[in-house]
Each structure stands twice: as C-alpha cells, then as structure tokens.
Structure 1
Amino acid sequence: MQKKIVYPALAVLLGGVGFALRRWELATAFEETGLVTPGMPSTLALIALSAIVGILCALLGWSRRNVDYGDYDTAFAAKDCSLFMGAVVLSAFFLLGAAALKLTGIPTAYREAAALAAQGSGGNPAMTMLLPILMAALSAAAGICVLVTGRNAYRGEPTGKYSSLVLMPAYLCCVWLIAAYQNRAADPVIQDYIYELLAIICVLLSVYYLSSFAFETSKAGRALCFSLLAVYFSMTTLADAHDWATMALYGFGILYPLTMSAVLLSKTGKPREKKGAGDTEETEETPNEG
C-alpha cells in the first residue's frame, strides 16, 4: 500500500483509539469532585498510546528531514484531483462554520459577561468579547485563504512565494491557543484539558511548517510529524465537551493536516543539497598589482 495512504490512515486509526481511551478515562478516572484518581488504567493507557504515537510521528519526521519537496506550489500540487479539492473545501467550510457559530454565540456571551460585571465578579463585558470576535474574523479569513490556495493547487495555478494566504490558518491557531488557555487557566486539574491544548499546539505547528514551504525554509519532516500528531490529538480531544464552534475547528484540525500530509507523502522529493564550506564563505579577491 502506498505511503501516502498508510501514514494518514494510521494516524486516523490511532486517533480513533485515542478517542475511545479518552472516553474511558472521562468515565472512570474522574471523581465527582472533578479530581483525577491517580494510576487508573484508562489514564495510563492513553498516556502510553500518546507516547507511542509521538515516537512514530517523530521517526517519520526524522526520516524526511533531508528530503527536498520544492516550494509550496510544487510540494502541494494536486492538479485535477477531485478528492483533494473536496477535502480542502470541507476544511474551509469547517472554518467558515466555526466563524458563523462564534458570531451567533457572541450576544449570549455578552449578556452573561454583563450580568457577572453587574454583580462585581467580572471585567468589562466589551473586553471579554474581543477574543471571540477576533476568532470569528480569523476563522472566516482562514477559510477563504484555504479555499484560494486549494483551488490554486487543484487548477495548477501558483500561490506564489511569500504568500500571506498560507499564513492565515497559523494566525488563527495562535489566537485559538490563547483563547483555549484563557478558558482553562483557572482549572487546577491539567488532565481536564491537556489533550485539548496538545491538539491546538500540534495544529498550530502543522500549519506553521506547512506554510514554511512558501518561504524558502521548508521543513518537510516537521510538517509531516506535527500534521499527523494534529490528527491524532484532535480526534482524541473530540471525546471532551466542546461547543459546536470548537468542534468545527477540530474538524479543520483533523481534515486539513491529514489532506496536506497525504499530498506531501505522494511526492517523491529529492535529497536536500548540503552547503559546503565554499558555499558560505566569500572568496577574497587579490588586488591587482602594478
């Protein structure tokens, strides 16, 4: 079986196992007080599986560290591949759906923040709306950018070097990570949200290293490693309680890295040229004499 199918399929399979183990952990390892019972089999099994997945992804990334897949347009070209385009469109719809859901939830969130402020237990309601509004705007912008870059790859048109289009999902993930940590910062039980944060971090690193192909600093090994880790951890944390907007973001965090890693794995690439001493040192010219 082709490697472009094996590795992504394995990530999905292990993500499904991680989801099942997380559901088991939530059902058995957490007490009514919200604290975690140490040493539970479900917790140890999920930790062991996550460590194994991390090692496997790191080994895959290490094996591709010196492979050159070319620039962004070459590495992710998928001309006339309808399966690729369908996956990209669905990924973009996840982002656009997350933006719409974020916007529809803002009035309710504002009323709750205003009620807390009236009781003296909250801050300025307008400031609490800043992150949700920013998340909605960036989700919509990232969705449009994913559509444009995917269409270019499908049609064989260039996205171009140093394109800001490929960076928009990374900007979104930065704000997403901040918002997620802000919501969980007061929770003393790290086991409550550790897989959620790991998923967001891996999605962020995935889209960051995928975008590096457009900036002459491509890191194929890291892109593949974190893309497949993003699939695993995003599927695992789906077992947790999330609102619909966050679920849509995790849908993007699963489908987009999975699609891009499959496209990258379908390319052969070539060994990266190593710079010799003569490539980094300037040759001194001898002044003319006489």
Structure 2
Amino acid sequence: MLAVGYDAQGVQIPGSWPFVALWILSGVVVLGLVLICLGMGNRAGLEENFKAASAPGVCMMLSAAALFVCALVQLLDKPDLFTTLVSILGLGGASALAYSGYLRLSGKASGPAGMLVCLYLAALLICRFRGWSADPLLGDYCFELLAVVASMVAAYQLAGFPLGKGRRRASIFCSMAAVFFSCISLADSGWTNRLFFAAMILWQLTGCCSLAKPAPRRRKLGGGFEEAQETENGEDAT
C-alpha cells in the first residue's frame, strides 16, 4: 500500500486500490466483530471475567513500560504546554496501567487506575488531532485516529468491571477494534508511534482474551455452593 498508494512526492493517491481494499477489509472486520459480540453474554462481574493470572498481568506491565517510554520521549522533546501536560499525564497513565497489571496477578483491579489510563488516551487523542487536522488527506491519519478512539473506549469499558458495571460485549468489540486498527497503524513512520500501537495491541488483546471465557457463576443452593452450568456464549444455563 505504501508503495503504490502514494505518488513520487509522497502525496496519497485518492481512490487507489490499496486504500479502497483496506477500507473494505475494515468494514468487513467491524461487521464481523458486531455479529460475534451479539452472540456473547454480557457478564459484568470482575472475578468471573478477570481471574488471577500471571500472563495477563505481565503483558499489561510490558504495555505500561512501552507507554511510559513513549510519554517520556515526548516530554523530553520539549513540546508546547498542552503536549507537556499530556506527556505528564501519560507517565501517570502508564504507571496506573502497570499497577493494574500488578493487581491482575492476584485477580484484583482498580477502577480509578483504569479511568486514569482512559483519561490519558482521551487527552492524547485531542493532542494528536491538533496535528492531524492540518492534514487535508483523511487517509493519512484515519486509522491512527480510529485506533486511539477504540483504545480509549475500550479502556473506559474495562474500567467498569472493578465497579461491577462492566459490559462484556462492548469491551470485547472495542478491544478487538483497537487491536485491528493498531495493527494497521504499525505501518506509520516513527518508532515511538509503532511502540505506542504495539503497546495497545498487547494490552487490548490481553483484555479481550480474558473476557472471551468468563468463569461460571456459583449459586447458593441449600446452604452450599454449586457451580452453574455455562452456555457457549458466556451466559449461565438455567
């Protein structure tokens, strides 16, 4: 796409087949995700969706380390005041994500930490859009825009699970959309951008895999507990 979608001056060729094919692929993927998620349960609890596990916790901490590096590099570039504030918020968001990964090792989570990550992504979206808006060619930044938006909404959805307000279907959809658009955005130039989107892929894929198979609920019967049968879509059988 990069070889035939741009002219000799590096300007995007409108209507070139690689971009058209990529948009068609994106539409098919998004539609497929919608259909898949509609058939899933919508379990909202933390313990049933995010069991204690070492691999997800380590992956979250690795993603946090990558985000920390990206924010630090941006801060050291001595940007304007708003970008500086966003970079500082990024350091806090990366630390919050690392803390969430540490808690995940024992099956715990922190709603405020998750919301801090969401807040950072929202601020980053505003910061980056200031630069994107000066580009008249939507194709130059549309997939990066969609990747950041999907990651931000996914972070918001995931932050609801510690409060018992999680939405499993919406979380899986947003996480997988973030993974897809971040994979496309890896083709962008700049190692910090690639590191950022690689971190999004690792983090969101980890969350999605955790949500794919929730633990069966346990119901109290006659003073004891008995595990409920679970259907394939993640809901309890009656």
TM category, shorter? 0.7 to 0.9
Matched, 1:92 2:44: no
Matched, 1:204 2:152: yes
Gaps of 5+ in 2: 217-233
Alpha-carbon distance change, 132 to 38 in structure 1, aligned in 2, over 3 angstroms:
closer
Matched, 1:45 2:9: no
Q: How does 1:57-72 map to 2 (within 5 A)?
A: 57-64=33-40, 66-70=41-45, 72=46
Matched, 1:56 2:11: no
Counterpart residue type for residue 209 of structure 2:
A
Tell me the distance in 1 between the aligned counterparts of 2:137 and 2:97. 36
Determine the structure 2 residue equivalent to 1:75: 49
Aligned residues of 2:112 and 2:159 also touching (Cα < 8 A): no
Tell me the distance in 1 between the aligned counterparts of 2:158 and 2:168. 8
Matched, 1:29 2:5: yes
Aligned residues of 1:73 and 1:159 also touching (Cα < 8 A): no
Q: How does 1:211-226 map to 2 (within 5 A)?
A: 211-226=159-174
Which of these two proteins has the greater Rg computed from alpha carbons? Answer: 1
Following TM superposition, by how much is the alpha carbon of 1:215 offset from its aligned partner in structure 2, in angstroms? Answer: 3.3
Matched, 1:169 2:120: no
Alpha-carbon distance change, 36 to 247 in structure 1, aligned in 2, over 3 angstroms:
closer
Determine the structure 1 residue equivalent to 2:131: 183
Per-residue CA deviations over 1:177-207 (Å, capped at 9, x if unaligned) read 1111101111111111111111111111111
Determine the structure 2 residue equivalent to 1:131: 82
Counterpart residue type for residue 235 of structure 2:
P
Determine the structure 1 residue equivalent to 2:109: 159
- Amino-acid identity (%): 24
Aligned residues of 2:50 and 2:210 also touching (Cα < 8 A): yes
Structure 1 consecutive aligned stretches of length 4 or more whose deviation exceeds 6 Å? none
Q: How does 1:255-270 map to 2 (within 5 A)?
A: 255-268=202-215
Aligned residues of 2:48 and 2:214 also touching (Cα < 8 A): no
Tell me the distance in 2 between the aligned counterparts of 1:86 and 1:203. 19
Tell me the distance in 1 between the aligned counterparts of 2:92 and 2:47. 21
Following TM superposition, by how much is the alpha carbon of 1:248 offset from its aligned partner in structure 2, in angstroms? Answer: 2.7
Tell me the distance in 2 between the aligned counterparts of 1:61 and 1:131. 37
Tell me the distance in 2 between the aligned counterparts of 1:232 and 1:131. 29
Following TM superposition, by how much is the alpha carbon of 1:46 offset from its aligned partner in structure 2, in angstroms? Answer: 0.7
Tell me the distance in 2 between the aligned counterparts of 1:214 and 1:56. 28
Determine the structure 2 residue equivalent to 1:143: 94
Matched, 1:271 2:235: yes
Give the TM-score, by structure 1 length.
Answer: 0.70
Tell me the distance in 2 between the aligned counterparts of 1:82 and 1:184. 38
Give the TM-score, by structure 2 length.
Answer: 0.84
Determine the structure 2 residue equivalent to 1:13: none
What is the root-mean-square deviation in Å for CA atoms of aligned residues? 2.0
Tell me the distance in 1 between the aligned counterparts of 2:179 and 2:186. 11
Aligned residues of 2:151 and 2:175 also touching (Cα < 8 A): yes
Which stretch of structure 1 is more off in the superposition, 82-91 or 197-206?
82-91
Determine the structure 1 residue equivalent to 2:227: none
Gaps of 5+ in 1: 1-23, 110-128, 273-290
Counterpart residue type for residue 160 of structure 2:
S
Counterpart residue type for residue 103 of structure 2:
N
Tell me the distance in 2 between the aligned counterparts of 1:85 and 1:63. 28
